Structure 1
Amino acid sequence: MAVTGTRVPSLPAHPDGRAAEVLASGLLQELSHAFGGPFHFLLPERFDANLAAFRAVLAEAGVAGRVYYAKKANKAAVWVERCAAGGAGVDVSGAGELREALAHGVRGEDIVVTGPAKDTNLLRVAVLQGALIAVDSVEELDHLVALALGPDLALAPGEAARPARVLLRRLPPTQPHSRFGLGNGELAVALRRCAEAGDAVRMEGFSFHLTGYAVQPRADLAGQLVTLCRAARALGLAADRISVGGGFAVDYAAAEDWRGFLAEQRPEHYHAERSFTAADFYPYHSPVAGAGALRAVLAATPAGHAHSLGRLLREAGIALLAEPGRALLDRAGSTVFRVRGVKDRDGYGVLTVDGTSLSLSEQWFNSEYLPDPVLLTPAGPAAGPAAYAACVGGASCLEGDMVTWRKVPFPARPAVGDLLVYPNTAGYQMDSNESPFHELPLPPKVVLDHPPPDAATRRPRWRLDRHATAAR
């Protein structure tokens, strides 16, 4: 198969036995028929396994700590329910996410609120529920202190409110143009305000928001936070924990496939000769990923220190908080579209599916979700050598509504009614950009559970996710 004289590059996702079982079960075809549009399926046992892996890393390192699920990565209720059942925390950035976490069983003290410029209502509920609040500016801290000292937080006549639990967010010195965090002068002011607030505020430590996935910069900044905790303790503050946030990469594809794709891909491999560079893409292969990335951060020696971050934390009696989102959702779900039309062009095809690019949110970043979709026919997943290259367009009337600009090498020419299953989309892809544009319904999320041991069939059982918007 050739396109303008060149081979179309492929990027297969890592083999996934559980997903393969789902694709072979026949269930997805029935769900597509039932919903009449695209949908996402979720695998909660994968979330549990990823969470356990992060916790195991902390235990191996002998470091006290806590894992918080970054809720923004996926709105489904099932992830929060798994956190509640397993005693994990949840990272929220607004009142809606806080409300959802509480409604699905997460205790207030197991929630960290990290969004910027938090309004009064959000801060009030966070304090009343005992949530940990990452403060992003001196103004926000002043607002919080005034609220904590005010009379409207009393739980009952004569009963004092809980202290406001606070982390001070550090502006990364290596990313001085970040809009998140406090610089050196602001931190000094904030520490003084926390000390002056007395029992109204419990200053528990520091946090940061660092762009990228590199290990050493995280370890370096975490080492700085350990030093800051020691300085804060000298002021009489608790300062017994630090948060390194998220930024734990997911490894979607094999190293050889990723290198080959980047070396081969050119504008002629995309519809309308759309041009991308390697810098435009998520790093779909990462040799250090998920819980392994946390292990590497703890093993690294921060700049200016003589020992590993893990040892620094143990010796200082400081707990480490982590807020992974995508990494907890690795292989925990996929997205399914039905083919509505197939149009042959000069050297490639143009598929139209029954949804839009708004349900595969990498387009939000002017990028492309690259792992190859699986062609699922009535007979099962298509297999074999590449036989037909096609891009994938959405059902809207917009020229730019492309689910996949890339000309994907399929084993066969897709037919109307076939399904395209995009693998491993639970992390950020499913709902970051969703919209009922063209009056199209939002794709439902379907939770797939293993059948009971005594079931007559090994086919997965399914249920709709209980997120508040699922039935709209």
Structure 2
Amino acid sequence: MTLADLLPSLRPTLAARLEPGLWPVTTRTTSDGTLQIGGVDLAGLAARFGTPVQVLDTADVRARCRAYRAALPDAEIVYAGKAFLCRGMARLVADEGCSVDACSGGEVAVAAAGGLPGDRIVLHGTVKTDEDLKAAFTAGVGRIVLDSAAEVDRIAALAPHRQKVLLRISPDVDAGTHPGLTTGTASSWFGMPPAEACEVAGRVLARPELELAGLHCHLGSQVPSVSRYERAAVRMVGVIAALRARYGISVAELDLGGGHAVGYAEGEPCLDPALFGRAVRGTLARACAAHGIDEPRLLVEPGRAVVARAGVTLYRVGAVQRCGDGRTTVLVDGGMSDDPRPALYGARYPVRLVGRATRAPLETVRVAGRHCESSDVIADGVRLPADVAPGDLLAVPVSGAYHASMASTYNQVPRPPVVAVAAGASLPLLRRDTPEDLLRRDCS
């Protein structure tokens, strides 16, 4: 039995409490169920734009970019566009002094259209098509990350000018996260083992079309521990020292990737940028001193850590199903087509009722999507008022990353809009798909 069950008069007050660390910095709520972000009432925004709709707090994005820049004042902060990218987002992070990491020619084109100069765009990806590379060269991207030996000759042959490259190393550091999010172990196909990288570096140095600008690694996503990045930094410095010993070169840049953990439930661990900055900079300095080499310039690639908590998704309840096993399932008008993460690797979210007050007791329910898939579950075991009903509005926080970017038109459901909010105003960044959009690719 909870405090709200014992004292029903407290239920509206307790319902107004926001779970710490999960909502955008400008979020405000009241006991009558009103929820505001960026000074904009979410119920009114849902009525204007329809549901599902993703709300993006630009003040939150700016605050997190600034936190990284303060924690790593001498480093280059490279926003990982795969988390969420559109022209407006590119402009936003560029205004805050960040570069953009792109994983395709399409992401390069969007970043460039958002005003990013080429030298502030980094292209990487395990497989880069000729179209990806042509887009990169057209935009004049500053650096291309080589994931494999096969890319050396291809990129050298296509480069219209001398191109800076980074070698992606697999440092064999377990990220301590979900296996589906781990990319830096010896069994990973992302990047090269250190010994192979030393050989590939020689091939790069032999190509006048290429300039070896530095090294790159990425441990995975949702990495909770700073110590794992410290371990990766030490191993990467070891590779830098090996390159100096073998080729007499100084490596100018070291990109430690991103993947910094973000909590999706109250009390879940987050990676603090200030702690990360202090620890990694200290470890890097000590490791370089031990090898007697100059410190390379550091690059980091936060994506989810910049945008996840800036986003809130609004859904409309379509039905409340009392299942035969006694469980209650609240069905909403979105699901795996706008957020595939729960189906992919079991991600779960908090959910709250917004737009009206209630004194109903809280009930443990499952929130599921509109698609006829048993894996289309947005949240399980969450507490919602027992009187939740069709037409109610639900808000899902920590949904700014990997929602719009991974959204699909499964079941020919239009992808939802993304709307930025700030200072009491709203601005669409991405509009909702229309039936014409769905038919545009249909050549039959």
TM-score by length of 1: 0.76
CA drift at 1:135:
0.4
- Give the match for residue 116 of structure 1: 126
Output aligned runs, 1:203-282, within 5 Å.
203-211=212-220, 212-233=223-244, 235=247, 237=249, 239-255=251-267
CA drift at 1:369:
1.4
Report which stretch shifted further, 14-23 or 327-336: 14-23
- Give the match for residue 182 of structure 2: none
Aligned partner of 1:89 among 99, 119, 144:
99
SS at match of 1:427: coil
Output aligned runs, 1:322-361, within 5 Å.
322-345=300-323, 347-361=326-340
CA drift at 1:230:
4.1
Q: Cα RMSD (Å) of the superposition?
A: 3.1
- 1:246-288 per-residue CA deviation (whole Å, 9 max, x = no partner) reads 0211234443xxxxxxxxxxxxxxxxxxxxxxxxxxxx333x4
- Give the match for residue 423 of structure 1: 397
Distance 1:195 1:121, change over 3 A: same
Whole-Å Cα distance in 2 between the matches of residues 248 and 311 of structure 1?
Answer: 26
Aligned partner of 2:71 among 32, 57, 79:
57
CA drift at 1:12:
7.2
- 1:128-182 per-residue CA deviation (whole Å, 9 max, x = no partner) reads 504211101111012112223xxxx2xxxxxxx2x11110111223411011111
The residue type equivalent to 1:20 in the other structure is R
- Give the match for residue 269 of structure 2: 285
Whole-Å Cα distance in 2 between the matches of residues 466 and 355 of structure 1?
Answer: 17
Distance 1:164 1:238, change over 3 A: farther
- Give the match for residue 164 of structure 2: 165
CA drift at 1:227:
3.6
- Give the match for residue 448 of structure 1: 421
Distance 1:176 1:223, change over 3 A: same
Whole-Å Cα distance in 1 between the matches of residues 216 and 70 of structure 2?
Answer: 22
CA drift at 1:48:
1.1
1:462 aligns with 2:435: no
- Give the match for residue 61 of structure 2: 47
Distance 1:393 1:220, change over 3 A: closer
* Contact 2:416 2:431 (C-alpha < 8 Å) held by counterparts: no
- Give the match for residue 270 of structure 1: none
The residue type equivalent to 1:447 in the other structure is A
Aligned partner of 1:38 among 52, 66, 84:
52
* Contact 2:330 2:368 (C-alpha < 8 Å) held by counterparts: yes
- Give the match for residue 264 of structure 1: none
Aligned partner of 1:319 among 294, 297, 303:
297
TM-score by length of 2: 0.80
Distance 1:168 1:197, change over 3 A: same
Mark the runs of 5 or more structure 2 residues left unpaired by the alignment: 3-14, 174-184, 438-444
Whole-Å Cα distance in 2 between the matches of residues 467 and 132 of structure 1?
Answer: 32
Distance 1:185 1:26, change over 3 A: closer
Whole-Å Cα distance in 1 between the matches of residues 266 and 186 of structure 2?
Answer: 34
Whole-Å Cα distance in 2 between the matches of residues 229 and 127 of structure 1?
Answer: 27
Distance 1:184 1:398, change over 3 A: closer
CA drift at 1:96:
0.7
Distance 1:116 1:399, change over 3 A: closer
1:142 aligns with 2:163: no
- 1:106-134 per-residue CA deviation (whole Å, 9 max, x = no partner) reads 11110111111212232233245042111
- Give the match for residue 35 of structure 2: 23
Whole-Å Cα distance in 2 between the matches of residues 418 and 469 of structure 1?
Answer: 23
How much identity, in percent, do the aligned residues show?
29
Whole-Å Cα distance in 2 between the matches of residues 251 and 289 of structure 1?
Answer: 11
CA drift at 1:348:
3.8
SS at match of 1:73: coil
Distance 1:115 1:386, change over 3 A: farther
The residue type equivalent to 1:92 in the other structure is A
Whole-Å Cα distance in 2 between the matches of residues 130 and 400 of structure 1?
Answer: 39
- Give the match for residue 82 of structure 2: 72
Report which stretch shifted further, 130-139 or 351-360: 351-360
- Give the match for residue 278 of structure 1: none
- Give the match for residue 442 of structure 2: none
Whole-Å Cα distance in 2 between the matches of residues 461 and 310 of structure 1?
Answer: 49
Output aligned runs, 1:194-209, within 5 Å.
194-198=204-208, 200-209=209-218
Mark the runs of 5 or more structure 1 residues left unpaired by the alignment: 3-9, 154-160, 256-283, 451-459
Whole-Å Cα distance in 2 between the matches of residues 76 and 13 of structure 1?
Answer: 29
